[in-house]
Amino acid sequence: MLTNIKNLFFLFALSFLSACSILPSTHLENKSHKGLKDIISPDKVIGISVDYLELKNNKTYSNLVKNEFSSITPENAMKFETLHPTDTISDFRQADYLVSFAKNNNLTLRGHTPIWHRQLPLWLKSKQRTKDQTRAIFDKHVVELISRYKNSIFTWDVVNEAINSDGSFRTSYWLNSLGKDYIKDAFILAHYANPKAKLFYNDYDISKPGPKFDAVYKLAKNLLKIKIPIHGIGFQMHLRPEFMPKESEIREVFNKISELGLEIHITELDIAIPLPASTEDIRNQNLAYEMVSRICKSTMNCSTLNLWSLSDKTSWIPSHFKGLGQACVYDENLNKKSAYDFLSSGLIKE
């Protein structure tokens, strides 16, 4: 324990110095650098979401993905709008590329995400259809995608973000067309398409007790009660140092999900800070990365920690939240940031 505190203090001091650009954050890097996947406990997985074009065209990016992580998640390549650009055209090229990249580099893949309210193409949402017609599109999409990769992908975010912050069901194209059973049906179809796959419900802002977490907990409990195949909950964890859940709150919700016998995946960790970032912002971001990674390491059912976007250059944050950014552990030039060192200090196996 004392060693941990000493390590943390050392990292904190270095981070403070590197944040003041006195020391490059890579100062901590020694020449025989091992990747995050090499230092993490063998029972945990450290993953990264990947941008198809960067992975395909940027050697530094793809080498970092291979050397640091043991799992990849397609950031957009397996979303409805990418796979079905028109009602008659299916395009799996990006998804196929990522699956072969994973296979060729001994990486596992998290399938993301068959059913979501966003990134649905206009042709789907703009046309009036009967419930049966929409049901046919829904069924075909889930079964076609998951069975296509039944020998390559064994973990899926089957349904993403179906609950509102007040705990109500989110109004969406799928809910409006098919009713609340679309969630249960998606899991049934996913299991039919690949009985070997672990099926997750994935959402954000559920990392502390509250109406949204309670609704996700209730959804999962009800699905389990009627024997619907659900195996875990994805905690996205798109966080902000100013609004961090307390460690005790994260542990509380993790424990409740564990009590259901479900796995916990941190699926989309990034920690956005206001720009231009102050030394204080960077220090708080570092400490947040350390806390989340340490909690995952010490939570038996937290089997995966996935970062969302490798670098500040490809992060979704700046284009979605004005004035926020620098959320990743690599900067826009793919240099390690002090956040990397704090993440790894929380993950390192004892």
With tokens 């109406």, the residue in question is 211
**14 φ, ψ (degrees, to nearest 5):** -65, -40
The DSSP bridge pattern shows strands 71-74 and 108-109 to be parallel
How many residues lie near ligand G3I (CB under 6 A)? Answer: 8
Question: Nearest distance from residue 268's CB to ligand G3I, in Å?
Answer: 5
Taking CB under 6 A as the criterion, the residue among 118, 125, 129, 140 binding ligand G3I is 118
d(CA 18, CA 27): 8
Q: Is 68 a catalytic residue?
A: no
Instruction: Check binding of 76 to ligand G3I (CB under 6 A).
Output: yes
Q: For the chain, give the number of residues.
A: 350
Question: Nearest distance from residue 130's CB to ligand G3I, in Å?
Answer: 28
Contact 310/53 with Cβ under 8 angstroms?
no
Contacts with ligand G3I, 284-323, as mask; x by CB under 6 A: --------------------------------x-------
Q: State which residue, 15 or 306, has the beta carbon closest to ligand G3I.
A: 306
CA distances from 66 to 17, 106, 174, 300, 325 (A): 29, 8, 36, 25, 25
Q: State which residue, 265 or 283, has the beta carbon closest to ligand G3I.
A: 265
Instruction: Check binding of 268 to ligand G3I (CB under 6 A).
Output: yes
Instruction: Check binding of 119 to ligand G3I (CB under 6 A).
Output: yes
Q: Is 332 a catalytic residue?
A: no
For residue 72, give the amino acid letter.
I
**242 φ, ψ (degrees, to nearest 5):** -70, -20
Question: Nearest distance from residue 315's CB to ligand G3I, in Å?
Answer: 8
Catalytic residue among 54, 68, 75, 161: 161
3-state secondary structure 95-163: HHHHHHHHHHCCCEECEEEEECCCCCCHHHHHCCCCHHHHHHHHHHHHHHHHHHCCCCCCEEEEEECCE
- Closest residue to ligand G3I, Cβ-based? 316
Question: Nearest distance from residue 48's CB to ligand G3I, in Å?
Answer: 12
Residues that bind ligand G3I (CB under 6 A): 75-76, 118-119, 160, 236, 268, 316
Residues belonging to the active site: 161, 268
